[in-house]
Structure 1
Amino acid sequence: MRSGRGVLVAAVLAMVLAGCSVTEEEPNGPLPAPPGGLEKFYAQVPQWGSCEGFGDLEDKLAPKTQCTRITVPVDYEKPDGPTAQIALSRLEASGKRIGSLLLNPGGPGVSGLSMSSIAAKTPLAERFDRVGFDPRGVGSSLPAIACQTAQESDSERAEPPTDNTPEGIAKSEDENRTYAGHCAERNGAELLAHVGTREVIQDMDVIRAVLGDPKLTYLGYSYGTKLGSAYAEKFPGNVRALVLDGAVDSAADPVQESLRQAAGFQKAFDGYSADCAKEADCPLGTDPAQSVARFRALVNPLRDKPAVTNDPRGLGYNDAITGVQQALYTDEFWRVLTLGLSELRDGRGDTLLQLADIYDGRRDDGTYNNTQDAFNAIRCVDDPRIADPAVAAAQDAEYRKAAPFLDDGRGTGAAPLEVCNAWPVPNTSGPHKIAVNGLPKTVVVSTTEDPATPYQAGVELAGQLGAALVTFRGTRHTAALVAGDACLDDAVIAYLTELKVPEQGLTC
C-alpha cells in the first residue's frame, strides 16, 4: 500500500458510480543564480501548447490548459550526460498575477498534470498560474518508468496470496527478484538510480526558474509533502510559501511508517463499520464489534475462488483487499464500499474490482498507467532496505496486530523480504529530521482521522519546519481545497496569496 496519496475524491467517485500577517511579497525580483554547470537547464524557455499526447489526462484537463516538457539531467552530477523531460500543465492566472503555484498530488508515482485545475473558483485561480507536474519517470514525463506489461500486471493481481511458510516466503522473494530484474532490464540502472526525492526537488528548482519565479510557491499533498519539506531543506532561500497537507514524516523509518499506516486504516475501517452498522442491511452486520470477523468471512473465500464479475477476470483476494483500502481513503467512499461489500456478500465483485483497477491504474482498454511501477522505483531509492528476516517477521506480526481487518490469519512468525531488498540500485535517501535555517513561515495541514498519513506525522513535520499547524477534523486523506471546508480553504488561500499565517492552533 503506497504511503499516502492525495486523492481527488470527486473524480474517483464519478468513475465508480457512472494569525499573524506580513506584507504580501510580489515575487518579481531577480532570479537566483543557478547552480554551477546547470545554467542551460535553468535558462530554458518553456514552449506552452496543446496537451494532446500527454497521456491519460489529456481529455480530463480543464479547457485552456496548456502543456509542455522541460529538460533536466538524469544525474545532476553529470549535467552533460543523459537527460529526462518533465511534463508540466498550466492554467494561467485570470487576474492580477502573483506568480506560479506549483502543485503535486502525492504518490509517489501519481501524475500531477490534472492538479492545475484545482481551486478553480477561488482567488488562487485569479492570482496564480496553477502548474501541475509529473515527477521524473512518472506519467507523461520521459522516459516513463515501466517494469511490467499489462498481462504481467493482470497475472500478478490474480495470483492467490502466498502464506508465510518457507515455501511461500521463497516464492514471494523469487517473484520480487523477477520484478526487480524486469525493472532493471526495461529502464536501465542509471534511470532507476535517479528517480528519487533527491532528484525531484532539484527538478522543482529548475521548474521554478523556468516559470520565472524567484521563489517557489508550492502546495503538496501526501508524498508531495515529502517533496516540499526536502525542497525547503535544500533550497530554503528559494521558498516563498509552502502548504503541506497529509504529511509524510521524513524522520520515520519504513517500518514505523508502515505500522502507522496500518493503524490508520484500521481506525478508518472501524469508523466505516460503526457507520455502516446503523443500517439494518449493512454487509458487516449491525454489531461493530463483529465487523472484522464478518469482513474476513467475506474476503477469505476469495483466496481459493474469485467472485464473479462482468469482467472475465473475476475478483480475487488481492484485488478485494486493494479495493477496500482504496475506499477507506475518505468517508466520501463509504457508500461505495457498502455497495462493494454487499455485492461480495451476494457472490459478485464488480465494484471492488473497479476500485482496485482505479488504485492500480488499469485503464478501460486493459492497459495500465505507470503509477505502481513508479511508486516502487521511487520508494526503493528513497527508503533504506529491510534486509534482516527477523525485522521483516516482526514487522509482519506488528502489522497484523495494528490492522486486524487485514490479518488473513496466516501469520507464522516469519515473512518475506519486500521487493526493495532485491532492487538493483542503492537507496539515495533515508529517514532524518528536517533541519533548515532561513525558511519563511510555512503551513502544515493534518487531518485527525487520516488513514494513510496519520495526524501525528503532521504534528511532527510542523515542529521540524517551525510551520503553522492547521488541524482538520475528518476521516479522509488530505483536505485543503478538496474537502470543501471554508474554514480550512480560506486559511490556506489567505496564506498563499497574502502570506497571512494561520492563527496558532487553528482547527477546522
Structure 2
Amino acid sequence: MIVLAAAALVVSGCTTTITGTPIVGVTEQLGPKGPVPAGLDRYYGQALVWRDCRAMAHDDESKGAFATKGVECALLSVPLDYTKPDGRAITIGVLRQRASGEKVGSLMINPGGPGASGMSAAVYIAGKAKKTALVQRFDIIGFDPRGVGVSEPRIECLDDAEMDAERVAPSLDTVPEVEADNKEFAEKCAQRSGGAEVLANVGTRDVVRDMDVLRSALGEEKLDYLGYSYGTRIGTAYAEAFPANVRSMILDGAVDPNQDPVQQVIGQVKGFEQALDAYFAQCAKCEVKTKARLEELLKPLEDAPLKVDDRALSLSDATTGIAAALYNDEYWPILTQALKELTQGKGDTLMLLADAYLGRDDEGEYTNLMAALTAIRCVDEPRITDRAQLESTSREIVEATKGTFMADTEPQLPALDTCAFWPVPNTSEPHQPKVAGIPTLVVISTTGDPATPYAAGVNLAKSLNARLITYKATQHTAFLDGSSCVDNAGVDYLVELKLPTQDLTC
C-alpha cells in the first residue's frame, strides 16, 4: 500500500548530546514527502535535528570537513531490516550545506568506495563547486551509508594494531593459509560489527531505501543525485527501486551493473596497467622510467620490508601506494617523488600514499573504510564457494592479466576469498537494470580511468538509456575536477535539466 502525504514544517530549538557535549540543535520536519511505503510512515515523516557537525567528527578527515563554516549535521533514523519496519532502528549520518540562492532541491552525494564517507565528501565537493550554480541552487547533502563513518552501528573488522600488523605480515603462499586467514577475518567482522543481522543489511539494496527515507525527510518530492565510482551502483539501484522518484542523476566513473566480479577484477587490473603505461610515457626525466625498473626496486620488499621511521613498508603497501597515485594524473609528481625515494632506499612517500588509501591517520588510527568495503562487497556480489568454479575463475584472471604490474606483484591463488566465509548470503547480484519510467540520466566516463574502465560507463549509459559524456584523460572520475566542458554540461543538467548533446566528448 502506498500513502501520499503532504509535508509539514516544524522548526524549534532543542538541546541534545553527542559524545557528551551538549549542543543546541534546530528541529526541522519537512516530510513525509512523496510516496511512503507501507509501514514506514514514522521514518518518512521524521523530524531532523540539525546541529554543529564538529561533535560528530571521529577521524582526521571528518574533523577537518566538519569544521567547515556553513555546514550542519543530523542523524536519520532507518530500520535495520526493512522487512521488519517495527524492529530495530539504526542511524545514518547526514551533512548539509544550504543553497546560497533560490533553491532547486537537495543534491545527494555519494563518493564511492564502497565505504567512503559521503558527509566528508560533500564538503570537499561543495568546495570544488563553489563557483558554480550547484551551491547556489542546491542544498548539498552528504550521507554516510549504513555501517560507515558517523552512521551506527559501524562495520568493524580489525583494530588499528591488527591493521598495521596485517600490512607487514609475510605473504601467505598456500591455499590453506590464505583461506584460514580469510575465515578468521570474516568471523571478526561478524563479532565486532554487531552480528549477522547487521552484516545482512549493509548492502546497496538497503542503502537505496535509506536514501529514499532521507529524500522524504528533506522534504523533496524527487531525488537529485551525484554518484562517483561505486556511487554509480547506488544510483543505478535507486533508479531501479524508485524510478518515479528520480529528478536527475549524474553517474561518474561507472560500475557496470551487468558485469560479473571476475570481469570487474580483470578490467581494473588492465585499467591500472593502462594508467601506469601512461605515467611512464611522460616520464623521460624521471628516476624510474620503466615497469621493469620498478619491479626490480620492489622485489626486495617481498622478503625485507623497508624501514620507515618506526614502521616498515611492505611490498603490499608499496603496491597500494603506487595504485593510489595512479588514480589521477595530478598525483603523478607525487609518484615520481616516491619512486625516486625508493631508488635511495627510502619509502616515506609510498607509505604516506598507502596510509591515505587505507584510511590511516598520523596517530595510527584507521577509518572503517576497508572493513566497510569488504562487508558491502560480500553482500553486493555473488560469492564463489565451489572449488571447480574457483579454479576456473582463477585461471581466467591469471590468463587475462598475465604480464601486468598488478598481477606480477600480487599473484592469484585459487583460494576461497573472505566473502566465501561470510556469515550471510548476498542480497544483490549483477543484472540488467529494469528502469522503465526513469527520466534521462547522465553518465560520465573517462577514457583512461584505471579503477572503473571507460567501457563500463558506455555499458551503463546504454543500460539506462542515458546521455554519455566522454572525457579524454587519465584519471578516476571527472565531474568538478577541472574540465569546464564536463562541469558546465553537468551543472546545466542538474540545475536546469538541460541534457548534454548526444555523445558529448570533452
TM-score (normalised: structure 1): 0.89
Shift of 1:344: 1.2
Match of 2:469 in 1: 470
Deviation string, structure 1 residues 382-430 (Cα, Å, up to 9, x no partner): 000022334444444444552621233785x852121111111110000
- Report the counterpart of residue 166 of structure 2 in structure 1: 156
Query: Structure 2 vs 1, CA of residues 390 and 414 (structure 1 numbering), >3 Å: closer, same or farther?
Result: farther
Number of aligned residue pairs: give it.
466
Look up the equivalent residue of 2:294 and give its one-letter code.
Answer: F
Give, in whole Å, the separation in 1 of the partners of 2:245 and 2:410: 51
1:105 to 108, 111, 122: 111
Q: Describe how 1:204-353 pairs up with structure 2 within 5 A.
A: 204-276=211-283, 278-279=284-285, 282-285=286-289, 291-310=290-309, 312-353=310-351
Whose relative contact order is higher, 1 or 2, with alpha carbons under 8 Å and at least 6 apart? 1
Kindly indicate whether residue 63 of structure 2 is the aligned counterpart of residue 58 of structure 1. Answer: yes
- Pick from 141, 145, 154 the counterpart of residue 155 of structure 2: 145
Letter of the structure 1 residue corresponding to residue 64 of structure 2: D
Counterpart amino acid of residue 112 in structure 1: G
Q: Is the 8 A contact 1:307 1:344 kept in 2?
A: no
Q: Using the alignment, how far apart are the partners of 1:434 and 1:315 within structure 2?
A: 43
CA deviation after TM superposition for structure 1 residue 234, in Å: 0.7
**Which letter maps to 1:174?**
A
Identity score, percent: 50
Of 232-241 and 335-344, the range deviating more from structure 2: 335-344
d(CA) in 2 for partners of 1:496 and 1:30?
Answer: 24
Q: Aligned ranges for residues 351-500 of structure 1 at < 5 Å?
A: 351-400=349-398, 401-402=400-401, 404-408=404-408, 414-481=413-480, 483-500=481-498
Aligned: 1:177 with 2:183: yes
Moved more, 292-301 or 373-382: 292-301
Amino acid at match of 1:487: C
Decide which of 31, 34, 58 is 1:32's aligned counterpart: 34
2:212 partner amino acid: D
Task: Describe the SS at the equivalent of 1:60.
Answer: helix
Q: Distance in 2 between matches of 1:123 and 1:132?
A: 18
Q: Report the Cα distance in structure 1 between the residues aligned to 2:64 and 2:344, rounded to whole angstroms.
A: 36
Kept after mapping to 2: 8 A contact 1:241/1:440: yes
Match of 1:115 in 2: 121
Distance 1:336 1:393, change over 3 A: farther
Instruction: Name the SS for the 1:352 alignment partner.
Output: helix
User: Paired residue for 2:145, among 129, 135, 138?
Assistant: 135
Secondary structure at the residue paired with 1:429? Answer: coil
Q: Which amino acid is the alignment partner of residue 71 of structure 1?
A: S
Hey, what's the Cα distance between the residues in 2 that align with 1:410 and 1:156? 15
Partner secondary structure for residue 282 of structure 2: helix
In 2, Cα distance between the equivalents of 1:77 and 1:160? 44
> What is the CA distance between 1:342 and its match in structure 2?
1.2
> Residue 45 of structure 1 corresponds to which residue in structure 2?
47
CA contact under 8 A between 1:124 and 1:493: conserved in structure 2? yes
In the aligned structure 1, how far is the partner of 2:428 from the partner of 2:410? 33
Length-normalised TM-score, structure 2: 0.89
Take 2:274 and 2:364, find their aligned partners in 1: how far apart are those partners? 33
Aligned in 2, Cα 1:473/1:345: closer, same or farther, shift over 3 Å?
A: same
Which SS does the other structure have where 1:72 is aligned?
A: strand
* Aligned-pair CA distance for 1:296: 1.2
| Contact 1:135/1:200 (8 A) holds in 2 | yes
CA 358–71 in structure 1, closer or farther in 2 if over 3 Å, else same: same
Q: CA offsets, 1:130-181, max 9 Å, x none?
A: 0001000001111111111111111111112223xxxx21111100000000
Report what 2:76 is aligned to.
70
Q: Contact 2:262 / 2:397 at 8 angstroms: preserved in 1?
A: no
Are the equivalent residues in 2 in contact too, given 1:303–1:316 (CA < 8 A)?
yes
- Whether the 8 Å contact between 1:114 and 1:132 is mirrored in structure 2 is yes
Q: Pairwise CA RMSD of aligned residues?
A: 1.7
- Aligned to 1:470, the other structure's residue is in SS state strand
Which letter maps to 1:101? L
Alignment partners' CA distance in 1, 2:345 and 2:395: 31
Cα separation, partners in 2 of 1:345 and 1:447, compared to 1, 3 Å: same
Matched residue type, 1:252: Q
Post-superposition offset of 1:346? 1.2
Equivalent pair of 1:392/1:414 in contact (CA under 8 Å): no
**Structure that is richer in strand per residue:** 2
CA distance in 2, matches of 1:149, 1:325: 24
SS, match of residue 132 in structure 1: strand
When residues 128 and 108 of structure 1 are mapped into structure 2, their CA distance, relative to the original with a 3 A threshold, is: same
Q: For 2:497 and 2:363, how far apart are their aligned partners in 1?
A: 46
Tell me how far 1:348 sits from its aligned partner.
Answer: 1.1
Task: Indicate how the Cα distance of structure 1 residues 407 and 29 shifts in structure 2: closer, same or farther if over 3 A, else same.
Answer: closer
AA aligned to 2:53 is C
2:86 aligned counterpart, secondary structure: coil
CA deviation profile, 1:261-309 (whole Å, cap 9, x unmatched): 1110110111111111x11xx2333xxxxx2221211111101101121
Report the residue type matching 1:488 in the other structure. V
Amino acid at match of 1:34: V
Identify the residue that residue 20 of structure 1 maps to in structure 2. none
